[in-house]
Structure 1
């Protein structure tokens, strides 16, 4: 494949003979304004069928050298595009109209092509820079997506600093395979692997002796990106839109475009945020009395001792709220950003530096991120344009010790059984006492242990556009895109021997080193043929390749020398290594036809193969097709009530490749009488394993009324996943315990409704709003193996189970009648959001985002742990039919009824709200504007859920979401903001 790339690239450069340069014999000037005659800053003025373009300055003015009889295309985000013929004059006053319904927004239709939304056959969600980051900045990029993507179900793996988000688009797309979307940044496929730090060694969250676990709650690597650098995000939610991106796009595609330089005067932006971080919610602690303290034990002697301990502590004023002491801290946050944009007609540059430092709500936790970005675009001539995007990221996250735990050592689990009269504070010499109520002293653990993730990352992409042929009706381009994503990740975990739970191991140091390199390229030819103003054909085709090389080495040392963390300073050392590689290749062809700017037809096919498939040489075929019919452009509806109305339908297929190594029966190392040897693994390979196939059909209606001030988007989709992958138990007679196979089919059906509106539009007040509604229902339509629980803790407490004829995300459990039945579903009944921006006098801006999730259940074991430990704040309330304390009643249900542990996770959350004022009339000319503001993130949540966060998902980014086991609590943020434009 590499030789093919070299050959193709060389051949293309040999045959590229630039077309004669267009004669540059006149200069045009002008100004771009909006309806109130205010300048439109950053509007793009481009020469049609050329790489030549410029943007308007702070006064909306522009100056551009163009050939005779050139056609200018003027566009700006949020405005309708205008086309201008330059034959008559060289000075233009362009007044743009607002595009509330986003009809002129350009969105992706292929790997190398795009189209205006008014002619689009798919529902594609977009998030602008203002919607992403300009209301109330989140800690990480992935957290900034929460509540903003219609059709998405998003959970936080942990509230710990450094992020960790699970994103599912249009329902469950796989059970054991990849469920997350593909992230593409300026053409580079970005890795989003979550790497375990090996905490399972001390927590035993997985009781099978495993070293790594998806319950370690590691961060997602997409969190490394900085939202300040992003210009726009497009979300391709289903196969009908994402098919051309290949096997890594089975869970959808998130296309991220970063900011580019703009020709003209250099623009410098400097901003500073200072903020405070608090826990969103504390559960509270049980109000103890001497009698309640005595009831913590059934042994009479122990009860008497507990009564005395409580009385002594109370008399000394040593009753503590340990939850507040651990989680009630205020983290200080600061974020500094410097961005520079500028350039000439031929070369533009965007450069940014960003520094972030945030403390956590738990002591000795926090997050730091440093990012440097340089984007350069150069127009060699009217026919050749190149672009380079580079980003260096260094991040460090101290994440603490939280989550599921079978050893009783994590902070939350230990806290759950520690009463308020326990004496956990250090003495004058800093020595912590043992916690007699738990396996660890949580104050000691927080003070002395370390769990750090540090990353050095380089993401570099390149784009090349060459016009190979051009005449009055046809233009042919070569477009090459690609790049690499490389990072070194180090996880450093240290448990000193002085910790209470390290009495046996005498100190544990876990040092992890991960190196990952991902590469990809797309080489394509695109021909635009326009024989008349009533017909346009865009033909594209090309080849793609993606590679991945992931290497994780984990060293676990015990009996470490006091004060040391190096693994060689220990009495025992164990090492594990995981290496995975893949090579995916594809060929694609696509044709798009536009008839009288009213009917758009799209058809394409992709041929994919992967080294993970059973047959590595076989190309699997994945077609796509779409049609949109704009009734107003067709002339069927002329003017009047509807400004625009469009019918659309799309079909497509995509795939998800099998897990790495699933086709092989591997050999594992064994010690045989002191000599190394090999034995056959207990997991059987499947030589003929094939990829999951996803088939989606969607249809919809888009229309706008009231001169475009009110727009609607209605979408229905049906998505089928065939041959989904499972790791199933093998019969004992086979000699193996597990085996990979293509186990069945499942289906997702859903509805997405969107509205964009401008309810108020006057000289002094403008109100823009959007409202979205989405819902999804899944169904397992075929399952060839017996149903077994998937994730969680079995039917006693509630568990997922794949079962034919049932929802893929159902939660089953003991129902109180001696049987097992459905107690809930992780999938919500529906979700809604609304984003609003109200601007007063073009100076004062109020922005806010509300998110409502209705329905859906979590398996909540945080409350159960508190009941077990006798610390639940409502322990002694009596609201049940038996007349016993509520916590006692809940504990009595264990083994007979799991309803108490499967709880509704509905909520209404004010995710973001910000108030900003912009000063433009300043005493100095070199400062264009100053903006000051205050914002709040996740500050108000209305929910009946009985734990820290209804969005929790302690079991990682895979299939099992909505599991709650004493996580790092979610946080809320207040920020003060100031920025300067020079």
Structure 2
């Protein structure tokens, strides 16, 4: 006992003797950890003294303090989602540490089901993900769908208009329907959102665009996904094929785009302010024809003298520059506030986006308010999430695209020579254009073509943990959402316009008012059960039911022969009213079983059953199965391949559906008025009440690999996607009284490969460089056709059109050749596409850019033909087709001969789609200047489409006259030209 006391006293004495020495040897290191690139504080980051257990973690503001035994030493900094970093420290005091987000994306969690997610390393499908930084961090996009261009494999994105406010077609892995919906399904925070392009403006009453040729939508409307503010988005995931999208059933044949918006984070409330200023300019100027007196005289007697007089007086006008030469002002302002406590998270944002067009009196103005709330309660057994968004947008679209009256701005411009005098006099009176049906300046300045949208998107989900123990748990998930918007379209063509004057055969003024009320709602309930065995075999079972309702009511009022200068629809002699109503209700269920053995072998089986009021039998269930498997070889003990960090093979099969297009299920009678007697008229197309939905089946196989400790990643996918029971129009027996009828009459197939290569080339303290290369291609074929081959989607065989023919590409373009034979002239499907993106950081500077190469893919270019008719084509006097015949004369002669050969052009391009250069002011400077009240400041410059290389003979090869129609992309007739965008940025975080 005494001996033990003696030793205890000795320990106390030694401690007293040496404690001051220990204190003298210890050193304290303080500092702050921030995220590289953004300068945002990095909370909850682990900091450990190398070779010891001595460590700490940063607080909510990224600050830390650690005491070490001696200096110099090395601190190891690590956090989930970030690259581990070793930091040598020579002296005590404050230091600043930057950590970079990991370039390895295999551990990213991706949403692949209605109620669950999966680690990317375990996913059996090729799921493309676009982060917030990739979406808006490089250069703020005008619209969400435009921001996706070039960001992932498997998509062909085509503009239907260069007008501010969007109008874009997105095609995933080829054509999925000929007459049905060809656009992907969009889901925002669990809410099924509407992406219709509604031609409610009534422009056809003036342009007559649908009175001949293709009667498809040519009113140049925007599409409604443009309403979503890209700055609110945290991530976008694209389920490109049926193997991934099968869980969404009857609406997912064209793919699914899952959008997750930003949420709050625990800790101190943060405020960020972003301001962009910039301008846009014409992307590609065509220039003018090199006129001489003789060439001017050839346009008509007396024009040679008019040209000579204007040339000598210096009054020749570049009308292209006059119309398209504006520098549209751009202003984007956004403020967001986020934060939260242990139980409640919130995110609130306001944005105001204004962009003028390159044409006077065109532009886009969108205001968006968002509030997201997450709240945990009942000891965190339950979680309520609410996502809400209000959008108010106004888009002035101008008057462009095809017409059969010569009145749109582009068509009128095509025949206007540089000596034409079209400016108004001192009293504002515009002269008539002697060279066309309209004065394009007068049309530009006086007409109205406006879309006004008020929209609410609200969603809520409730997650409740029914029970939980060491081996299993059960969760109940309830979700609901509403997407409601009112679209008001206003078109006004005053009677003083040249083409509205009765003396010129006009209608004495036209005003059109369209009102669309659209409401989509979705409700669902899911049960998710997890069970893990003693051998680490996990079973995840999920089952659920869904209900979707869709309602649309469009009323269009068109009035002509206006009273004086009135614009109300009731102030005219001739009033016509049309109405389109659509109601639909879908119900379904799904069951899915996922097995995961130690992250080594992962398998999934599932089935979706759907019924819809849009089917012939509203109570008939259509089933869509899915199955997938993945093997992570690198997780097995036997794996020992030098330099190969990860290797996974995967295979997946799935089916998805596509509803019949409107009118296919029934015969819609039309009204008539004969001698004052109202009645109905039988249409020419017969519906089929027994028609089945189109069904897509896809097999996808591939592998994912990474090398050199995950510094290099490679993804490869091959898919074979067939679409059965295509809904087509067949010729009807003449005795039936109909000319055509709808029926399930064909199959098509898409095959393709997608390759993605990403690499962290350099990763040092002061310099980082990461790069990503994407390659993809798709080929299609009509594998069955029970009707005669038919043409659609263009203006006939004499100008180039699409043709559905068994054994040929779905997107082939055909036309008559010089001998009058119907031949294949091209294909709208590209040979391949490639994108190359790079992100470089040197200290506080970052440079990022994205190149996009589209090789092949043809367009039907009729803009050149119209300028040939007007004698104004810039290349009119060149000899590219025939050494003895000028281009303009050759194309005009080809038109009258019914030869479509010169109108189908290669639409390849190479473009610098995005580029951005930014500077992050160091946190040490901000702390001194603002005493810690400002967490980050970033300034920079960015641009869209600044470099464009192509031989296509028009403004932009990325164009389509027929809106979002999936098959008819690549047909152009004097569109609103595309633009370049230049932006300057300021971002401040508090």
Give the TM-score of the pair, scaled to structure 2: 0.90
Q: Deviations over 1:902-942 (max 9, x none)?
A: 00000011011000011122111100111000111111111
Q: C-alpha separation between the residues in 2 aligned to 1:521 and 1:397?
A: 32
Q: C-alpha separation between the residues in 1 aligned to 2:403 and 2:482?
A: 37
Alignment of 1:979 with 2:969, yes or no, is: no
2:109 aligns to what? 106
Contact 2:44 2:62 in 1 (8 A): no
Contact 1:32 1:56 in 2 (8 A): no
Q: Deviations over 1:754-784 (max 9, x none)?
A: 0111001111101111111000000000001
Contact 1:350 1:374 in 2 (8 A): yes
2:356 aligns to what? 359
User: Which of these residues, 620, 638, 645, is aligned with residue 618 of structure 1?
Assistant: 620
Give 3-state SS (helix, strand or coil) of 2:726's partner.
strand
- CA displacement at 1:75 relative to structure 2: 7.1
Q: C-alpha separation between the residues in 1 aligned to 2:344 and 2:612?
A: 39
Residue 863 and residue 845 in structure 1: after superposition, are their counterparts in 2 closer, same or farther (change >3 A)? same
2:940 aligns to what? 933
1:436 aligns to what? 434
Contact 1:581 1:660 in 2 (8 A): no
2:953 aligns to what? 946
Q: Deviations over 1:605-645 (max 9, x none)?
A: 00111111111110011100000000011233136311100
Q: Deviations over 1:368-406 (max 9, x none)?
A: 000000000000132100010000000000010000111
Q: C-alpha separation between the residues in 1 aligned to 2:527 and 2:569?
A: 53
Give 3-state SS (helix, strand or coil) of 2:210's partner.
coil
- CA displacement at 1:570 relative to structure 2: 1.1
2:89 aligns to what? none
Q: How does 1:642-657 map to 2 (within 5 A)?
A: 642-657=644-659
Contact 1:106 1:115 in 2 (8 A): yes
Q: C-alpha separation between the residues in 2 aligned to 1:228 and 1:34?
A: 19
Contact 2:33 2:58 in 1 (8 A): no
1:884 aligns to what? 885
Task: Tell which deviates more after alignment, 355-364 or 671-680.
Answer: 671-680
Q: C-alpha separation between the residues in 1 aligned to 2:631 and 2:41?
A: 32
Residue 75 and residue 892 in structure 1: after superposition, are their counterparts in 2 closer, same or farther (change >3 A)? farther
1:806 aligns to what? 808
Give 3-state SS (helix, strand or coil) of 1:766's partner.
strand
Q: C-alpha separation between the residues in 2 aligned to 1:101 and 1:542?
A: 33
- CA displacement at 1:897 relative to structure 2: 3.4
2:50 aligns to what? none
Give the TM-score of the pair, scaled to structure 1: 0.90
- CA displacement at 1:317 relative to structure 2: 2.3
Runs of 4+ with deviation above 6 angstroms: 30-36, 42-45, 94-97
- CA displacement at 1:311 relative to structure 2: 2.7
Alignment of 1:321 with 2:318, yes or no, is: yes
Residue 900 and residue 689 in structure 1: after superposition, are their counterparts in 2 closer, same or farther (change >3 A)? same
2:373 aligns to what? 376
Alignment of 1:893 with 2:894, yes or no, is: yes
Contact 1:293 1:307 in 2 (8 A): yes
- CA displacement at 1:680 relative to structure 2: 3.2
Q: C-alpha separation between the residues in 2 aligned to 1:33 and 1:138?
A: 27
Residue 43 and residue 216 in structure 1: after superposition, are their counterparts in 2 closer, same or farther (change >3 A)? farther
- CA displacement at 1:255 relative to structure 2: 0.3
2:905 aligns to what? 903
Q: Deviations over 1:310-363 (max 9, x none)?
A: 233233322110010000111111010001001101111100000111111000
1:65 aligns to what? none
1:6 aligns to what? none
- CA displacement at 1:209 relative to structure 2: 11
- CA displacement at 1:274 relative to structure 2: 0.2
Residue 158 and residue 95 in structure 1: after superposition, are their counterparts in 2 closer, same or farther (change >3 A)? closer
Give 3-state SS (helix, strand or coil) of 1:215's partner.
coil
Q: C-alpha separation between the residues in 2 aligned to 1:556 and 1:334?
A: 35
- CA displacement at 1:887 relative to structure 2: 1.4
Q: C-alpha separation between the residues in 1 aligned to 2:817 and 2:249?
A: 43
- CA displacement at 1:892 relative to structure 2: 2.4
Q: C-alpha separation between the residues in 1 aligned to 2:100 and 2:398?
A: 52
2:403 aligns to what? 405
User: Which of these residues, 384, 394, 398, is aligned with residue 396 of structure 1?
Assistant: 394
1:198 aligns to what? 202
Alignment of 1:871 with 2:872, yes or no, is: yes
Gap runs ≥5 in structure 2: 1-30, 47-56, 66-77, 86-96
- CA displacement at 1:108 relative to structure 2: 1.8
Give 3-state SS (helix, strand or coil) of 2:323's partner.
helix
1:751 aligns to what? 753
2:845 aligns to what? 844
Q: How does 1:656-735 map to 2 (within 5 A)?
A: 656-735=658-737
Task: Tell which deviates more after alignment, 287-296 or 770-779.
Answer: 287-296
- CA displacement at 1:208 relative to structure 2: 5.7
- CA displacement at 1:883 relative to structure 2: 2.0
1:88 aligns to what? none
Alignment of 1:116 with 2:119, yes or no, is: yes
Contact 1:464 1:481 in 2 (8 A): yes
Q: C-alpha separation between the residues in 1 aligned to 2:460 and 2:80?
A: 24
- CA displacement at 1:216 relative to structure 2: 1.2
Task: Tell which deviates more after alignment, 177-186 or 722-731.
Answer: 722-731
Give 3-state SS (helix, strand or coil) of 1:911's partner.
strand
2:236 aligns to what? 233
- CA displacement at 1:32 relative to structure 2: 8.4
- CA displacement at 1:101 relative to structure 2: 3.1
Q: How does 1:356-755 map to 2 (within 5 A)?
A: 356-380=353-377, 381-503=379-501, 504-532=506-534, 534-638=536-640, 640-755=642-757
Gap runs ≥5 in structure 1: 1-29, 46-53, 63-73, 82-93, 298-302
Residue 855 and residue 35 in structure 1: after superposition, are their counterparts in 2 closer, same or farther (change >3 A)? closer
Residue 862 and residue 75 in structure 1: after superposition, are their counterparts in 2 closer, same or farther (change >3 A)? farther
Residue 366 and residue 55 in structure 1: after superposition, are their counterparts in 2 closer, same or farther (change >3 A)? farther
Task: Tell which deviates more after alignment, 679-688 or 213-222.
Answer: 679-688
1:51 aligns to what? none
- CA displacement at 1:745 relative to structure 2: 0.1
- CA displacement at 1:479 relative to structure 2: 1.0
Give 3-state SS (helix, strand or coil) of 1:206's partner.
helix
Q: Deviations over 1:480-509 (max 9, x none)?
A: 222000000000000000001112210000
- CA displacement at 1:203 relative to structure 2: 0.8
- CA displacement at 1:796 relative to structure 2: 1.1
Contact 2:41 2:935 in 1 (8 A): no
Task: Tell which deviates more after alignment, 467-476 or 556-565.
Answer: 556-565
Q: C-alpha separation between the residues in 2 aligned to 1:327 and 1:952?
A: 17
Q: Deviations over 1:640-691 (max 9, x none)?
A: 3111000000000000011234212233322354333334333212010000
Q: C-alpha separation between the residues in 1 aligned to 2:79 and 2:110?
A: 14
Q: C-alpha separation between the residues in 2 aligned to 1:216 and 1:373?
A: 31
Contact 2:422 2:432 in 1 (8 A): yes
Contact 2:852 2:912 in 1 (8 A): yes
